[in-house]
Amino acid sequence: MVSPYFLLGIGLGLAFLLGLLGQKARKSSSILILVALFSFVGISFSWLWQFLQENASVTQFFSAGFKPPFSIALQVGLHEAVLTSMINVMGLFSFVSLWRNMKDGNEKLGPILLILFMGLNMLVLTRDIFNVFVFLEITAIALGGLILFDEKKHARSAGFKYLIASALISTIYLLGAVLIYFSNGSLYLDDVMALNNMSPMAIVAVFLLILSLVLELKPFPANGWALDVYQGANPAIGAIVSAAIGSTMLFLLYKLMGMAAFMQEFLIAVGLISFIASNLLALVQKNANRLLGYSSIGQIGLIISIIGLKDILGDQFLFVAFMILITHFLAKAGLFWLSAMLKSDELKAWSVFRKKSVLLVLFGIFIFALIGFPPFPSFYGKWTLIINLAETHNYYLIAAILIGSFLEAIYLFRWLGYAIKVDFTEYDEVKINWEKLIPVLTFGALLLASGLYMAHLMPGIEDITLWPLLFILAIYLLDFLPAYIKNTISIAALAYFSFIILPPYYEKDLLRFIFLGIFAIGGILTLIAGYAYKGKRRGFYPVALLMYAGLIVLIQAETTLSFFFGWEIMTAGSYFLIIRGKRSMEHGLSYMLFSIGGAYAILAGLGLTFAQTHNIDILSLASVTVHAKLIFLLLAVGFLTKTAALGLHIWLPGAHAEAESDVSPMVSAILLKAGVFGLFILMIAMGKNPEVASIAYILGWVGALTALVGNLAAAFQEDAKRLLAYSSIAQLGYILFALAMMSHLGWMTAMVYSLNHFMYKAILFLTIGAVVLRVGTHSMYKMGGLIQRMPLAFIAVLVGIIALSGVPPLSGFAGKWFFYNAVLEKGWYFQGAIVFFSGIVAFLYLFKLIYSVFLGQLKDNLRQVKDISIWFAIPIYVLILGIMFFSAKPEWVLQPLSDMLTQWYPNTSLSFDGLYINSNFGYWSGTGVMITIMIMFIVLLLWLWILSRKVVKVKQFNIVYSAEAPQRPETTHVSYNIFAGYYKALGWIVAPKISELWNKISDFVVSVAHFGRMIYTGNGQTYLVHILAFIVVTFLWFLN
Amino acid sequence: MEFDFKHLGFTLLGLLIVLNWGLLMSALMQKIGARVARRIGIRLYQPWIDLIKNYAIRSQISHGIMFYLGPVFRFSGGVGIFLFMPLIVGSVMWSNYSFQGDLVLIMYFQFFGMLGMALGAGESGHPNSAIGISRGLAQFTAIEAPLTLAIISLAIQYNTLSIVDIVEAQQGGIQNWSAWTNPFATIAGMLAALGSMGHSPFNLVKAPNEIPIGPPTEYHGTFLGVLRTNAAILHVMEAALFMNLFFGGANNWFEFILKTFLIYFWSVFVGVVFPRFRIEQSVAWFFKIPLIAGVVAIILFM
């Protein structure tokens, strides 16, 4: 094993040598330092190799051959090997990223950097308490130098504040080290840890040591100096502070905690407070580097608390800590390096990365990794953390961690939204130098690779989930191809994938077969519409496939882990799909925040489930006994954010309405079914637990009110897509209500609605989307009379609205019929009546939709408009065929559904008798009604035709109009606010109270953040007071 | 059930009876209304003359395919409700095609004609049509609220959604009628009926002196003839629905005619007394007493 003293030798030796050689060697110094840093990497990797491949044992190296306490011991174990590898890789890439800064007379920075990283290595390796102090001082001075030498505007004051603060902190450390030596005669860590009974003085000493390390890790509120450093220093140095120094100090803390078990609770508290507080304060931050600083402090706070949780997490501790640390390390360094490429500190300036899409993708990867999305390591870390905390009944900690993570998600996704959407023309263009690009690219790739590797290792994640992700990566690399090629590849991939996985489910599990069918067929059909788009459509296909991959994983999941994995992948994909819309920035954010909130509720629910079942099998949900209500409520809330139940719905209208024309049907007709599937899984589990009937009852009411409010709100929209979006909310309300009935008929209703909603909402969204592409507006009152120009679209919308409204003979009626029977059987009369009433309200918006767009007066500017694109018409008419089939032969679909549902509800009054469907209450023959109505319609049509053969088609405006001659279509087309009277009577129901409530909540949080931020005055003396106050308060706390 | 020419024949005969009774009834109602207003009123055979005249008018214009299909949808709606409605208790032949679906089918098939008509009238491009439709739909949703509650109450009471079964359960004397056994549902249903019959105070859909005849403004000649034919059938069938639900159905054609007359007369009776509501008033009205009556009707049978 290579001796660690080589690190010391190389570092110090080269630094002194360069100093001695003077001016002449300056030119070549960079190369020498690069070689030195490479050798650091080599040494630490050789250790890593030995530990991982050759099972080497932990080795201690002693200086000058003496034993402690007369020598300094350096220990090399697996942990040290990993940490030094991370640090040295960081050192190497930091040097690369600062390459240009070290030219032109600034060559002196190189040796300082080398010394800094040597110091960090030693901090990791050393086992001597005083030695730690020495290297703390060395790194502090080196870092101070790095900051001060930079030419950035606030670098000087930041460096000064840093030196003052670190001097104070080192003093405290030194005091602790002195006391330790005084009380116990040795500074060798292993000696101190071996002590069984610590004297009061030793306890105080250890307290001071740990406290100073915690202060090094910038706990809230004693971290004003650190924020100024992040803001003032060159971002590349910020990367070192956050990733390298942060990781080192965390490891040091972990190492020294071996003697301070009594401080675990302190670490948990301090860590979580920092995590939540800094993420909260970051909400109002507009400076990118300072924001990253807040985020770093938050993440490090989380890891501090994980170190405190060591005993609670037991075997899983190292896994959790490492997963979160490595994510923080790679992502935060990457983000700082990205920041280094920009001239401006503004968050919105990051929008210039749109011009270099690879940087935008990296930005996205780092953000998603930080929040803990799969497949990144932090996903597994957070999952394991939450599950273990639940198992040990630390519910408050779960809540705190999830709240902190949620706050972090708010500002990070808002930022990502800026990058994707804000107009970038006012910001300086980003100039990419190879030395800036290489580190970011490497770390991004490492992050992805580590995530995929973890997914492979993790029990409970099926290997099959990885292939789609790799395929998506491949599609991203093909992004330079024209859209139609990528479209074909995507369709082929989806078709192939569904061809492989779909058929076996028909026998095995019909429920999953149906949902998978909706996702696969819906996916293919909506992708076909993509041929209508010209150009390259950059970035569309990877994210669309990401969503479909997530959906497929979700359905296939056999464990709660892979269910959650799929759920998060789907959320990520759909977020990018939604935010692609022109005005979708805020809608994308609100979608993401509701989704993350929901996902955390699901995570908490699954964690609590695991705590009692000790099983990640998805069927284990059914066997929960303790806290069943809480668990099911959490899961329900999670799924309801996706189905946009009343109260959690405010993200949907904007997100669906502003999305691109072929994206709206994806996120409405298809994606919403993921929530429905989740609800199915939940309800299947709930069905086995009689205790939770009250939750089903509540969900029933929520569903009914969602249906009412959704439909009423839809009736008052002027934007066609918003109208359809509100309609989706209501339809999902029906489905929720039907599922909550927890009966055979109820679930039949839910299944019929799910199938129907998939078909007609896809038809309507595709058609309206295609119309919008032609006419260039969403506002219905700006359209009118388009039936003459777009007969194909008109027929599609006609079929869609008839099916949606539930008018016989189309399939929508099946849903209504089952609904009546289910409600009567269940006895939920009032909720049922609300749902029926809202079903009738649907006529208002359906009429408005088809009338305002296709009937009435054709506008002058639309006289030449063409019919919808054939690429939209194909999927639309395939779906129409589907509806027609379902309408003509409903029993062919309904009977297998009914049989399937008997596995959960064996007692059903439903019976199939040839063409007739009978229940306890009524009967209905879909085919018979269809035939009767068709014959009657044709006969009556002939009757009219015979009597009116001389009919003449007249031109526009040829109407009976009180002796006036209308000429302007705008004044003759009655459309805007057409239901004004209705609004006067019932508009109060849809007053935006819920949006107001959410706005008030968010205003409150923001104002708290503003208030909290005022403690950071920017004055170094105040910051010192903070540190001292922190010490005093913690000391007083410990005295108690 | 197998296809049966005899059954079809009876059904068509029934349709003819209903059509003529509908025409006569509308003449009677107009006459009554006129007499209340101290006018002489129309001749009783006037509706037939109007119908013949409309069908015979030679000049016919169309605004487009949907405009053309609108009356067909509307007519199908009326005839469809006729087809799915049992007329005479216990008679298979006079039960029409009600074996194909229950009350839910009728409830939702009402919309078939309404929607088609709305679209046809919409294509005419006449603002009055659109205004009339928007009012009609708005009012209709409000009507459905108490009516739905009444129907749910009946379904709980009789434990069925089949109209045939509901009617049969009411046989054996007036004391078995829903009107007697379930008075609140009947109140809710009959108040809702006022709206669905479209007489004053709920006649703002066609509001003669404000938006001349609303949705059908542009329809004339044969189209109007078709619509008038349908209106005659539909009025009788709406009355028949309430007769079946609340007043014991009909054991023979005489009872059928008497009961549908009285039920229809109820809306005319109210209509000649009360002036027209504005749309927000009429919508709000259905959410007051009729809705409360419906809620009480359900609570009593829960």
A808·B76 Cβ contact <8 A: no
User: Distance between CA B250 and CA B236 in Å, rounded?
Assistant: 13
Instruction: Give the closest of B111, B133, B156 to A824, CB-based.
Output: B156
In chain A, which residues have their Cβ closer than 8 Å to the Cβ of B71?
944
Please provide the distance, in angstroms rounded to a whole number, between the alpha carbons at the two ends of chain A. Answer: 47
In the numeric block, the tokens 């809702």 are attached to: B192
> Crossing angle for the helix pair A672-687 and A540-556, nearest 10 degrees?
10
pLDDT higher than threshold 70 for residue A463: no
In chain A, which residues have their Cβ closer than 8 Å to the Cβ of B118?
847, 851
User: Distance between CA A83 and CA A7 in Å, rounded?
Assistant: 14
In the numeric block, the tokens 């108690």 are attached to: A1040
pLDDT higher than threshold 90 for residue A18: no
User: Distance between CA A302 and CA A274 in Å, rounded?
Assistant: 8
pLDDT higher than threshold 80 for residue A713: yes
Q: How far is CA A13 from the centre of its chain?
A: 48
B105·A813 Cβ contact <8 A: yes
Stretch A265-277: mean pLDDT, rounded?
A: 95
Instruction: Give the closest of B61, B108, B141 to A952, CB-based.
Output: B61
Residue A527 has which token pair?
């992708």
pLDDT digits over A858-916, tens only? Answer: 999 999 999 999 999 999 999 999 999 999 999 999 999 999 999 999 988 889 988 88
Query: What confidence score (pLDDT) does residue B257 get?
Result: 96
Residue A214 has which token pair?
């915690």
A986·B283 Cβ contact <8 A: yes
Query: What confidence score (pLDDT) does residue A1033 get?
Result: 92
Please provide the distance, in angstroms rounded to a whole number, between the alpha carbons at the two ends of chain B. Answer: 35
List the single residue in B with minimal CA-CA distance to A785: B123
In chain B, which residues have their Cβ closer than 8 Å to the Cβ of A924?
100-102, 104-105
Residue A822 has which token pair?
């289910």
User: Distance between CA A241 and CA A247 in Å, rounded?
Assistant: 9
Residues 796-855 of chain A whose Cβ lies under 8 A from any Cβ of chain B: 798, 801-802, 805-808, 813, 816-817, 820-821, 823-824, 827, 829-830, 832-833, 836-837, 840-841, 843-844, 846-848, 850-851, 855
pLDDT digits over A810-857, tens only? Answer: 999 999 999 999 999 999 999 999 999 999 999 999 999 999 999 999
Q: How far is CA A576 from the centre of its chain?
A: 10
Q: How many CB pairs under 8 A join A and B?
A: 249
Distance from CA of A796 to the nearest CA of B (A): 14
Distance from CA of B146 to the nearest CA of A (A): 9
pLDDT higher than threshold 80 for residue A106: no
Q: Does A943 touch chain B (CB under 8 A)?
A: yes
pLDDT higher than threshold 60 for residue A924: yes
List the single residue in B with minimal CA-CA distance to A786: B123
Distance from CA of B260 to the nearest CA of A (A): 25
A823·B58 Cβ contact <8 A: no
Q: Which of A90-94, A461-465, A856-860 has the lowest mean pLDDT?
A: A461-465
User: Distance between CA A182 and CA A797 in Å, rounded?
Assistant: 86
A817·B105 Cβ contact <8 A: yes
B144·A840 Cβ contact <8 A: yes
Give the alpha-carbon dihedral of B250, B253, B254, B256, to 10 degrees.
40
Query: What confidence score (pLDDT) does residue B149 get?
Result: 94
Query: What confidence score (pLDDT) does residue A508 get?
Result: 87
Contacts of A725 (CB under 8 A, 6+ apart): A652, A653, A654, A655, A656, A657, A664, A668
B280·A982 Cβ contact <8 A: yes
Contacts of A881 (CB under 8 A, 6+ apart): none
Mutation target to probe the B interface, by most B beta carbons within 10 A, among A712, A857, A936, A972 is: A936
Stretch A932-961: mean pLDDT, rounded?
A: 88
pLDDT averaged over chain A?
Answer: 91
Query: What confidence score (pLDDT) does residue A271 get?
Result: 95
Give the alpha-carbon dihedral of A930, A933, A938, A939, to 10 degrees.
140
Are the C-beta atoms of residues A657 and A721 closer than 8 Å to each other?
Answer: yes
Mutation target to probe the B interface, by most B beta carbons within 10 A, among A798, A843, A976, A988 is: A843
pLDDT band at A153 (very low <50, low <70, confident <90, very high): confident
Distance from CA of B156 to the nearest CA of A (A): 7
Are the C-beta atoms of residues A273 and A397 closer than 8 Å to each other?
Answer: no
Could you give the C-alpha distances from A176 to A66, A206, A545, in angstroms and in order?
A: 25, 6, 56
Instruction: Give the closest of B66, B156, B279 to A982, CB-based.
Output: B279
Planar angle of CA A797, A800, A803, nearest 5 degrees = 150
Is the pTM higher than 0.90? The answer reads: yes
In chain A, which residues have their Cβ closer than 8 Å to the Cβ of B80?
932-933, 936
Stretch A251-278: mean pLDDT, rounded?
A: 93
Instruction: Report the DSSP beta bridge partners of residue A75.
Output: A60
B60·A984 Cβ contact <8 A: no
Distance from CA of A742 to the nearest CA of B (A): 19
pLDDT higher than threshold 60 for residue A65: yes
Instruction: Report the DSSP beta bridge partners of residue A917.
Output: A912, A924
Residue A986 has which token pair?
């019932």
User: Distance between CA A47 and CA A175 in Å, rounded?
Assistant: 34
User: Distance between CA B113 and CA A185 in Å, rounded?
Assistant: 98
Mutation target to probe the B interface, by most B beta carbons within 10 A, among A909, A923, A941 is: A923
Residue A55 has which token pair?
């099972």
Are the C-beta atoms of residues A340 and A236 closer than 8 Å to each other?
Answer: yes
Low-confidence ranges of chain B (pLDDT < 70): 1-3, 209
Q: Which of A182-186, A271-275, A380-384, A818-822 has the lowest mean pLDDT?
A: A182-186
Query: What confidence score (pLDDT) does residue A759 get?
Result: 95
Instruction: Report the DSSP beta bridge partners of residue A923.
Output: A918
- Checking DSSP bridges between strand A916-918 and strand A923-924, what pairing results, if any? antiparallel
List the single residue in A with minimal CA-CA distance to B160: A921
B61·A937 Cβ contact <8 A: no
Could you give the C-alpha distances from A490 to A75, A468, A805, in angstroms and in order?
A: 52, 11, 34
Query: What confidence score (pLDDT) does residue B256 get?
Result: 95
Query: What confidence score (pLDDT) does residue A329 get?
Result: 96
Instruction: Give the closest of A787, A920, A984 to B280, CB-based.
Output: A984
Buried b (16+ CB within 10 A) or exposed e, A654-692: bbbbbbbbbbbbbbbbbbbbbbbbbbbbbbbbbbebeeb
Could you give the C-alpha distances from B120 to A856, B115, B153, B227, in angstroms and in order?
A: 10, 9, 35, 12
Residue A718 has which token pair?
């002027």
Which 3 state secondary structure label does DSSP give A233?
coil
* CA-wise closest residue to A606 among A625, A620, A595: A620
User: Distance between CA A176 and CA A130 in Å, rounded?
Assistant: 10
Helix segments in A855-889, DSSP class H: 870-888
pLDDT digits over A1023-1036, tens only? Answer: 999 999 999 999 89
Instruction: Report the DSSP beta bridge partners of residue A911.
Output: A918
Peptide bond before A375: cis, by omega within 30 degrees of 0? Answer: yes
pLDDT averaged over chain B?
Answer: 91
Number of neighbours of residue B215 by Cβ within 10 angstroms: 29
User: Distance between CA A393 and CA A348 in Å, rounded?
Assistant: 42
Mutation target to probe the A interface, by most A beta carbons within 10 A, among B15, B119, B135 is: B119
Contacts for A131-135 with beta carbons within 8 Å, 24 or more apart? Answer: A131/A72, A131/A187, A132/A173, A132/A177, A132/A252, A132/A256, A133/A170, A133/A173, A133/A174, A133/A177
Residues 950-1009 of chain A whose Cβ lies under 8 A from any Cβ of chain B: 950-954, 956-961, 972-975, 978-979, 981-982, 984-986
User: Distance between CA A996 and CA A987 in Å, rounded?
Assistant: 16
Tally of helices (H runs) and strands (E runs) in chain B = 12, 1
List the single residue in B with minimal CA-CA distance to A820: B104
Give the DSSP H or E segment for A160.
helix A155-184
List the single residue in A with minimal CA-CA distance to B76: A937
Residue A745's region, left for phi above 0, alpha for psi from -120 to 50, else beta, is: alpha
Are the C-beta atoms of residues A379 and A387 closer than 8 Å to each other?
Answer: no
Query: What confidence score (pLDDT) does residue A104 get?
Result: 66
pLDDT higher than threshold 80 for residue A64: no
Q: pLDDT: is A911 or A25 the higher one? A: A911
Number of neighbours of residue A2 by Cβ within 10 angstroms: 15
**Predicted complex ipTM:** 0.95
User: Distance between CA B203 and CA B282 in Å, rounded?
Assistant: 10
Segments making up each domain of chain A, as ranges: 631-659+671-949
Contacts of B213 (CB under 8 A, 6+ apart): B128, B132, B206
pLDDT digits over A414-433, tens only? Answer: 999 999 998 888 888 777 88
In chain B, which residues have their Cβ closer than 8 Å to the Cβ of A793?
none
Are the C-beta atoms of residues B120 and B62 closer than 8 Å to each other?
Answer: no
